Amino acid sequence: MNGAVNTLELTGVTVARGAGPVIRDVSLTVPAGTVTALVGPNGAGKTSLLEALSGVIPVTSGSVTVGGTPITKLSRVARARLGLVHIEQGRAIFPGLTVVENLRLTAREPADIEGALEMFPELDKRRDSPAELLSGGEQQMVVLARAFVSRPAFLLIDEMSLGLAPVVFMRLLPMVRRFAEQGVGILLVEQFTHLALGLAREALVVSSGRVTYQGQAKELLNAPELLHAAYLGGADAPRQ
Ligand SMILES: Nc1ncnc2c1ncn2[C@@H]1O[C@H](COP(=O)(O)OP(=O)(O)OP(=O)(O)O)[C@@H](O)[C@H]1O
Ligand SMILES: [Mg+2]
């Protein structure tokens, strides 16, 4: 149903960038309390789509609603206030501040900080260390914890694995699932396709700016030929 309360909904969204559209007529729904993996080839438009949702770049046409509220004309800050939080590529933390100080900057309620540190025992041990002294994996945990204490309704995550060893990245994935279990709708862009699909319930494939697969992540994991066809543009994908 249109404007469902607990969804992030895109209808006919087009995003132009430089020479032309990089997202073309995309309609999809991101449910709350679920991880949705968004995968696709390099240059497909995944980052551009997340940036248009959070307000880094404008949506050219179409509509986006969060819990039924249209957002495309709202500022980035106003969208964040509605609970749309974007973890961009790269680890945006304050290196000179301690772990706890980093969390204080985004926490809606100070009491949430202890809850977040319970979810990340490694961070709890380093709570008073400057973030710059942490490992890459621990810094990415700070990024996740900062997002979590901001109490997002929807969390857009772009290539959390960047620069991390797969084994380190795999330790972060259960945290993402726990966020979803607490009601957050997660849109997870990830180059480690199989890890993302293994975690997610729903999956989207984007190729050349168009959605070429929408369905269950499990179905894609079990059908490499379907994934391959969707990456190539969906022309050869079997009809439902
Ligand atoms: N700042 C920019 N200015 C102009 N065009 C851009 C810009 N950033 C990306 N593009 C173009 O937009 C298209 C989509 O790029 P985007 O970065 O969104 O893809 P992606 O799916 O995130 O790719 P990757 O998997 O490599 O991260 C590409 O054609 C890219 O060249
Ligand atoms: Mg990208």
User: What does the alpha-carbon distance between residue 45 and residue 52 come to, in Å, rounded to a whole number?
Assistant: 10
pLDDT, tens digit, for every residue of 5-45? Answer: 589 999 999 999 988 999 999 999 999 999 999 999 999 99
How would residue 1 be classed by pLDDT, with cut points 50, 70 and 90? very low
Query: What is the per-residue pLDDT for 5?
Result: 58
- The mean of the pLDDT values for the chain is 92
Domain spans, the chain: 7-83+152-231
pLDDT, tens digit, for every residue of 159-196? Answer: 999 989 888 898 899 999 999 999 999 999 999 999 99
User: What does the alpha-carbon distance between residue 23 and residue 46 come to, in Å, rounded to a whole number?
Assistant: 9
Query: What is the per-residue pLDDT for 4?
Result: 52
172 alpha carbon to ligand 2 midpoint, in Å?
Answer: 19
138's tokens: 């621990």
* pTM given for the model: 0.93
48 alpha carbon to ligand 1 midpoint, in Å?
Answer: 6
Between CA 92 and CA 173, with CA 71 as vertex, the angle to 5 degrees is 40
129 alpha carbon to ligand 2 midpoint, in Å?
Answer: 31
Check whether 135 has a pLDDT greater than 60.
Answer: yes
45 alpha carbon to ligand 1 midpoint, in Å?
Answer: 6
Which one of the ligands is nearest to 89 CA?
2
| DSSP string across 1-51 | -TT-TTEEEEEEEEEEETTEEEEEEEEEEEETTSEEEEE--TTSSHHHHHH
User: What does the alpha-carbon distance between residue 38 and residue 50 come to, in Å, rounded to a whole number?
Assistant: 10
Ligand 1 lined by 18 (C-beta under 6 Å): yes
Query: What is the per-residue pLDDT for 200?
Result: 97
123's tokens: 């961070």
Amino acid, single-letter form, for residue 194: H
| Total residue count of the chain as it appears in this document | 240
Which one of the ligands is nearest to 41 CA?
1
Q: Are 168 and 136 in contact (CB under 8 A)?
A: yes
The fold adopted by the segment(s) 7-83+152-231 is: Rossmann fold (3.40.50)
* Across 107-129, average pLDDT: 94
Query: What is the per-residue pLDDT for 19?
Result: 84
Query: What is the per-residue pLDDT for 240?
Result: 39
User: What does the alpha-carbon distance between residue 22 and residue 189 come to, in Å, rounded to a whole number?
Assistant: 16
pLDDT, tens digit, for every residue of 37-63? Answer: 999 999 999 999 999 999 999 999 999
Q: What DSSP state is assigned to residue 239?
A: P
CA 18 to ligand 1: nearest atom? 4
43 alpha carbon to ligand 1 midpoint, in Å?
Answer: 5
Least confident of 62-71, 113-122, 198-207, 228-237: 228-237
* Across 199-215, average pLDDT: 97
Tell the burial category of 167 from Cβ atoms under 10 Å away from its Cβ (0-12, 13-18, 19+). exposed
Ligand 1 lined by 20 (C-beta under 6 Å): no
Ligand 1 lined by 42 (C-beta under 6 Å): yes
